[in-house]
Amino acid sequence: MPRPISASVSVSALRHNLAVVRRLLDQDAERAGAQPASIWAVIKANAYGHGIERAVAGFSAAQGLAMLDLDEAVRCREAGWGGPILLLEGFFQPADLDLVDRYHLTSTVHTHEQLDMLATARLSRRVDVMVKLNSGMNRLGFAPHDYAQAHARAVQLHAKGVLGSVGRMTHFACADGPEGVAGQLEVFGRATGGLANGPVSVCNSAATLRYPEIARGDAGTQHWVRPGICLYGASPFDDVSAASYGLRPAMSLRSEIIGVQNVPAGQAIGYGATYRTEQAMRVGVVACGYADGYPRHAGTGTPITVAGVPTRLLGRVSMDMLMVDLGPAPSAGVGAPVALWGEGGPSVDDVARAAGTIGYELLCAVAARVPQATRP
């Protein structure tokens, strides 16, 4: 028998979450009499830990898929995805362009080196590109003063038959926080406003949920949003839950109680003796530790659900186990089900907050040794 831990992914939750985003964009566009945005469902990092093939199934109604790894792009095609695929970091070396060509991938272009590689490539068809602006995050993209020249180079390559559509794109650093997107959006407008009418893409999950109005298209411009985390039912925000948007957790991490200790008052629990019982307690031992991807920095008080009852973690998380307070669940013993996050348990965001991180990191970090199952 394997250990009782497993992660299950609900394809219907993925589908539901995509529909939530779709509805939000459609309602906004309808109010404004605009063209609704198209959706590139972001499935980088093995679909945020959920599995590429499950994501291809769950996001079959998306207009496109976006990711980083050429391998993942190939897996999407092999899983039957025929629509657009955007490479968020583009390609890295000339040989990558063979795959871009063969699998008909759309590429972000964010360096002159990439334009050089395109200029000398031998391709069987035109490559669609999104020319990326660094509008203030200072991660990928052409600087504002360089953007018009880079875009003009791409338009020249279009004229030579190398490139297909030439779009404009940027990424927000603070769409989830008080700073918002206005400053970067202004830089984007100034740097790209006068340029030809290719597609435009600026919004991640936070911007899509918070500012759907900036993703409106019109007769001349197709807008694409790039939501990731919200499609998996987790929140891009510190202070607004995914549930408040009607999103459903796609991944549920579950295990079982594999031992029970009746601990007298004044005893310590776990490595480092960081928690001491104030009174006699029943303590459950759960088959889940940091080697499974559960965050070691989650301390006493982190929410966890045992036999359907919300309770709390006690002491330090070990490599393979963690301990919980069975006080609220007096009838739970060995074999009782434990929901670490997801359906029937705390949200991954609540666990992440208790560990000083974000749901994104926990979802991506579920270890390979945890068996994954697909729910319909």
Q: Total binding residues for ligand PLP by CB under 6 A?
A: 12
Q: Is 1 annotated as a binding residue?
A: no
Strand partners, 133: 142
Q: Which range binds ligand PLP by CB under 6 A, 18-26, 91-99, 202-210, 275-283?
A: 202-210
Tell me if residue 65 falls in helix, strand or coil.
strand
> Counting contacts by CB under 6 A, is residue 228 touching ligand PLP?
yes
Q: How far is CA 262 from CA 43, 259, 308, in A?
A: 45, 10, 21
**Residue of 44, 48, 211, 232 marked active site:** 44
Binding to ligand PLP, residues 248-287 (CB under 6 A): none
**Closer residue to ligand PLP in complex, CB, 232/294:** 232
**Closer residue to ligand PLP in complex, CB, 228/293:** 228
> Counting contacts by CB under 6 A, is residue 236 touching ligand PLP?
yes
Q: Is 139 annotated as a binding residue?
A: yes
- Residue 43, class by beta-carbon neighbours within 10 Å (0-12 exposed, 13-18 middle, 19+ buried)? buried
Binding to ligand PLP, residues 159-178 (CB under 6 A): 171
What token pair was written down for 173? 């650093």
Q: Is 132 a catalytic residue?
A: no
- Residue 273, class by beta-carbon neighbours within 10 Å (0-12 exposed, 13-18 middle, 19+ buried)? exposed
Strand partners, 310: 305
Q: How far is CA 252 from CA 230, 287, 376, in A?
A: 15, 15, 13
Work out how close the CB of 65 gets to ligand PLP at its nearest, in angstroms, rounded to a whole number.
12
Site string for ligand PLP, 50-89 (x = CB under 6 A): --------------------------------------x-
Among 13, 42, 65, 129, which residue interacts with ligand PLP (rule: CB under 6 A)?
Answer: 42
The one-letter amino acid code at 363 reads L
Q: How far is CA 234 from CA 66, 102, 286, 347, in A?
A: 18, 34, 24, 8
Work out how close the CB of 192 gets to ligand PLP at its nearest, in angstroms, rounded to a whole number.
16
Q: Which residues are catalytic?
A: 44, 271
Binding site for ligand PLP (CB under 6 A): 42, 44, 88, 171, 204-206, 226-229, 236
